[in-house]
Amino acid sequence: MAKPTVAKVTISLPQHLLDLADRLARERKTTRSAVICELLEKEERARVQALMAEGYQEMAEENRRLAEEAFPPAGETVLRDTKWDEPTDG
């Protein structure tokens, strides 16, 4: 797999967040940049998951609406096509 393009940037952070990034980097035995990258990727995954959950919820509502519309005609068809006088096995 090709290595992603990396850009160098300069950012400004409050001192307490810079201290946190440095502490996390030491704990994880990685760089400050890797910590910030990981946190941004985590945020991106959370946003994608939230969008997916929203989409699944909308699809569930649409499926429920379609089922409610289709059920009465389907039920009438089953009742109409059932031969009630025929003996059953058992």
The model's confidence at residue 63, banded by pLDDT at 50, 70 and 90, is confident
State the total domains in the chain.
1
Residue 4, domain member (yes or no) = no
The Cα angle at residue 3 between residues 2 and 5, in degrees rounded to 5: 120
Asked, for residue 86, whether it belongs to a domain, the answer is: no
Query: Is 82 a residue whose pLDDT tops 60?
Result: yes
The answer to whether residue 3 sits within a structural domain is no
Q: In sequence order, what are the residues at sequence separation of 6 or more whose Cβ sits closer than 8 angstroms to the Cβ of residue 35?
A: 21, 24, 25, 28
41, part of any domain: yes
Q: Note whether residue 90 is domain-resident.
A: no
pLDDT confidence of residue 61: 84
- The DSSP 8-state label assigned to residue 30 in this structure reads S
- In the three-class reduction of DSSP (H, G, I as helix; E, B as strand; rest coil), residue 14 is classed as coil
Residue type, 18: L
Average pLDDT, stretch 43-62?
92
The crossing angle, in degrees rounded to 10, of helices 15-28 and 32-81 is 80
- What is the pLDDT of the chain when averaged over all its residues? 86
Q: Is position 89 within any domain?
A: no
Position 62 confidence tier, pLDDT thresholds 50, 70, 90: confident
